[in-house]
């Protein structure tokens, strides 16, 4: 949909990483929204079929004039850093060229935040990445909303989005893909401005019909 014939480039590659758990039983989980975002980008920009390597699925492609590696660790969430670390070291990708997309309990459903560095907020995937890579990589936090009780967190993140929730997140996943070039170019403000509009519209439209 957004693909153009890739030009030659000498720009450094970027590693886009989506966090999730492998297996069909987890594919629709809130915890797997990072995988969902990577899959959408791979489809929209017609990336090569992924190959299994470094303990994950890795696909190569171009977005504009930027060389991109898309990575989905298949090590389960709490070992994500092992896979990411191997890929980053092999391709010599610095931390400021790594963007990790992950679910975030402390944001409303469909709300996004982009930040370089910071804490892990108790997220096991980020804990693992911090331990293997340090903290100075980019994080795209995708809100899945807190269930309101810490005893319900595990069940919440490992349960599927409802049909109504899908109506909220699908336009946002599409817009992440559509505007990801802005983020790759270093225009975090431009990227967030476009995504905030979509996020607010999507959540407002579906607010009264939430399951």
φ and ψ at residue 87, rounded to 5 degrees: -65, -45
Q: What is the DSSP string of 166-210?
A: HHHHHHHHHHHHHHHHHHHTT-HHHHHHHHHHHHHHHHHHHGGG-
Q: Which residues have C-beta within 8 Å of that of residue 29, sequence separation ≥ 6?
A: 20, 21, 157, 158, 159, 160
The catalytic position among 11, 31, 166, 179 is 31
Active site residue 31: yes
Tokens of 163: 């049909």
Contact 203, 134 (CB under 8 A): no
Q: Which of 188, 130, 112, 153 is nearest to 30 (CA)?
A: 153
Q: What is the DSSP string of 84-103?
A: HHHHHHHTT--GGGEEEEEE
Residues with active-site annotation: 31
């Amino acid at each position: 949909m957004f693909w153009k014939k890739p030009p030659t480039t000498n720009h450094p590659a970027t590693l886009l990483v989506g966090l999730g758990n492998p297996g069909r039983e987890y594919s629709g989980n809130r915890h797997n929204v990072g995988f969902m975002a990577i899959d959408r980008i791979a489809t929209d920009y017609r990336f090569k079929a992924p190959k299994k390597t470094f303990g994950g699925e890795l696909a190569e492609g171009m977005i504009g004039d930027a060389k991109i590696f898309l990575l989905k660790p298949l090590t389960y969430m709490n070992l994500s850093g092992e896979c990411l670390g191997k890929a980053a070291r092999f391709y010599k990708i610095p931390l400021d060229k790594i963007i990790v997309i992950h679910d975030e309990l402390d944001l409303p459903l469909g709300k996004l935040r982009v930040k370089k560095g910071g804490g892990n907020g108790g997220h096991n995937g980020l804990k693992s990445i911090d331990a293997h890579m340090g903290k100075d990589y980019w994080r795209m936090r995708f809100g899945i909303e807190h269930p309101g009780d810490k005893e319900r967190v595990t069940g919440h993140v490992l349960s599927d989005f409802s049909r109504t929730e899908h109506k909220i997140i699908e336009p946002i996943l599409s817009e992440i893909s559509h505007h990801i070039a802005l983020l790759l170019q270093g225009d975090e403000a431009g990227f967030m401005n476009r995504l905030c509009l979509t996020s607010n519209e999507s959540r407002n439209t579906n607010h009264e019909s939430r399951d």
